[in-house]
Amino acid sequence: MPLFTTDSLEMLRHKIDLFEVLSAHLTFQRSGSTYKTLCPFHEEKTPSFIIQRGSAHYHCFGCGAHGDAISFLMTHVRMPFTEAVESLAERFQVHLEKEEEKGNPTPNKIALKKALAFASELYHYLLLHTEEGIEALNYLYKRGITLEFIRRFQIGFAPQHYSLLIQYLQSCGIEEDIMLQSGLIKMPSGGKKRDFFSERITFPILDSLGAVIGFSARKYKQDTFGGKYINSPETILFKKSRVLFGLSYSRVKIAKQQTAILVEGQIDALRLIDTGFDYVVAAQGTAFGEEHVKELLQLGIKKIYLALDADEAGQAATQKIGDLFQKNGIDTRVVALEKDKDPDLLLREKGPNHFTHLLETSSDYLNFLFFYLAKDRDLQIPSQKNQVVNQIVDQIKSWQQPVLIHESLKKLAEIAQVPEASIGISQICMPDLFIPQQESVSLQEVDGDRILELDLLRWLLMGSSQYPEMIGIAKANLKQDHFRVLSAWKLYIALLAGHQSGCFDLLAIGSSLNDPEEQKTLSELLQRKINLNKTKEGFIEALRKVLLRDWMQKREQIRIEIQTIGHSEEETLQLAYQFDVLKNQIPEVLIPKI
Ligand SMILES: [Zn+2]
């Protein structure tokens, strides 16, 4: 986790316009200096989520949700802390200085975004208003894409021209190295610099705050050089292994429903979003990998629908991508599309209800896998059936999670109609099968002390704006030795300090933490959702657990002391007395009188 300098965070804090950040995600109604909308954190019919013009905090009178721009991005848009800070810095044009990078300037993301925004405007203009764009435009119209749709998603057109974009960007005052760094132009070795995209329909890819960070471009004519889809090259903004097309539109819904749909092409994704299935992302060819899965896991998905094309390439991709989700314990469903019908075409021909029906009747991944692998084989021939089953058994055993493996093997036995014992279910409790991979279990993740203490701080942070008395309760009960995790204790101190100036200001708290470990703890703390209707109960309960843990440990210490050899009888009696006294003093949470 990068450590930002306090000065630069302070500068950012002053520049953030909360209304501007939130209105990218919510539609407000104005009355006087107050802006109101339906609360994104709870279901309601009349708006009780408000911000005051100029205030750094939002507040919901319905559910008590309260926070600043950072906490909104973290809880509603599900961005990690660092990403939230960085994106706000880009948006409000503050250069965030990192401690280790002092005097060592980072590439200017703001300048790159400006160049990309100019490029997007140009491409969009060229598609709609030029002779050259007509063929591409007709292609889109033929696919049932309307002018409104083109405008909504800023679809564009990169013509067959070596330097039209270069000339345009030059006229906008963009320097050449910015054009290169933004991936908009390329410089073949020994050749002349030229526009990166040529003769393609362009789809801007946006970050979570709506800024263009790259393009995905597809060909619309058979004879265009290169693959069906081409993306911007890797840049500091555009990380190919992580970028998911459509996520800027789908992020919130995906996090809310914990479900996503994965399709192949951009038009499929945009069509689904436009039709109300706004929890979709596009894989765009075969480049979909582990990092993409992680992006979705971070949003908390529990279920994924794979709606890739029915052709051989699409099915092979389904096999590979399905494995990535399944092994992470995600409920992976395979949507059966008809041959030559992608989701876009299906939606146009048969409407959204039909697509919903396809989602509802999707098959689970193992079922798909069995029939996919069996399709060129004759299952009546024992050796061929054996091959299919063994291949799947090997794949299942690589999934690392014992229960998942066990249940999947059982299911496979059922699908393949073979006895469970014949595919080795009885042996899978062999311990060597389950040596965890380093990435899957780290000590930190299973540290019960850490989980408990972060839980306590999370309730305190999220609840105390609604129940300010929580601060007093915390102070009356907690001392340093109640904390086992040092960064949690430090964060607690920072929270108390941050609260004195009114309510919590995450940026102020973040900037007061000058240890990467503490910043990481804060980020970890904010990434889990809590029930905002139960903050006070949750807080008291977590507090009680911390006190109990302390009490039990003290008892345990005395017990061990008693068993230690070398005490006189009197000392032992004394200890036994202490033990008895302590045993009857089960700790209660102290609620100070106001
Ligand atoms: Zn609310």
Distance (angstroms) between ligand 1 centre and the Cα of 533 equals 9
pLDDT at 566: 78
Q: List, in sequence order, the alpha helices (H) in 435-534.
A: 448-463, 469-477, 486-500, 506-512, 516-526
Between residues 96 and 455, the one the model is more confident about: 455
- Closest Cα to residue 485, out of 524, 437, 449? 449
- pLDDT tens, residue by residue, 558-578: 888 887 777 788 888 888 888
Give the mean pLDDT of the chain. 85
- pLDDT tens, residue by residue, 99-137: 655 544 455 788 899 999 999 999 999 999 999 999 999
Instruction: Centre a 10 Å sphere on the Cβ of residue 148 and count the other Cβ atoms it contains.
Output: 9
**Cα(439)–Cα(220) distance, rounded to whole angstroms?**
42
Instruction: Judge whether 1 and 519 are in contact, CB under 8 Å.
Output: yes
- pLDDT tens, residue by residue, 37-82: 999 888 889 998 999 888 888 888 888 778 889 888 887 887 777 7
DSSP state at residue 337: P
pLDDT at 41: 84
Distance (angstroms) between ligand 1 centre and the Cα of 50 equals 10
Distance (angstroms) between ligand 1 centre and the Cα of 570 equals 61
Distance (angstroms) between ligand 1 centre and the Cα of 468 equals 18
Distance (angstroms) between ligand 1 centre and the Cα of 65 equals 5
Distance (angstroms) between ligand 1 centre and the Cα of 584 equals 42
The CA distances from residue 271 to 58, 84, 144, 283, 345, in Å, are 33, 28, 10, 15, 9
Distance (angstroms) between ligand 1 centre and the Cα of 250 equals 21
Distance (angstroms) between ligand 1 centre and the Cα of 47 equals 9
DSSP state at residue 245: B
Q: What predicted TM-score, i.e. pTM, was given to this entire model?
A: 0.65
Distance (angstroms) between ligand 1 centre and the Cα of 532 equals 8
DSSP state at residue 232: P
Query: What residues are neighbours of ligand 1 (ion), with CB under 5 Å?
Result: 39, 41-42, 60, 62-63, 65
Residue 395, φ and ψ in degrees, nearest 5: -65, -45
Distance (angstroms) between ligand 1 centre and the Cα of 49 equals 6
- Closest Cα to residue 74, out of 525, 534, 539? 525
Distance (angstroms) between ligand 1 centre and the Cα of 301 equals 22
Distance (angstroms) between ligand 1 centre and the Cα of 454 equals 23
Distance (angstroms) between ligand 1 centre and the Cα of 459 equals 16
pLDDT at 425: 64
Beta strands (DSSP E) in 253-383 are: 259-263, 280-282, 303-307, 331-334, 363-364
Distance (angstroms) between ligand 1 centre and the Cα of 180 equals 45
Amino acid identity, position 25: H
pLDDT at 440: 37
Question: What tokens appear for 440 in the block?
Answer: 């899957």
Distance (angstroms) between ligand 1 centre and the Cα of 28 equals 14
pLDDT at 192: 85
- pLDDT tens, residue by residue, 507-528: 777 767 767 677 777 777 776 6
Instruction: Centre a 10 Å sphere on the Cβ of residue 577 and count the other Cβ atoms it contains.
Output: 11
Distance (angstroms) between ligand 1 centre and the Cα of 214 equals 35
Instruction: Judge whether 245 and 266 are in contact, CB under 8 Å.
Output: yes
Residue 163, φ and ψ in degrees, nearest 5: -145, 25
Would the pLDDT of 434 be above 60?
no
The CA distances from residue 147 to 107, 133, 217, 401, 504, in Å, are 37, 14, 18, 49, 46
- Closest Cα to residue 215, out of 226, 225, 230? 230
Instruction: Judge whether 496 and 483 are in contact, CB under 8 Å.
Output: no
3-class DSSP assignment, residue 158 = strand
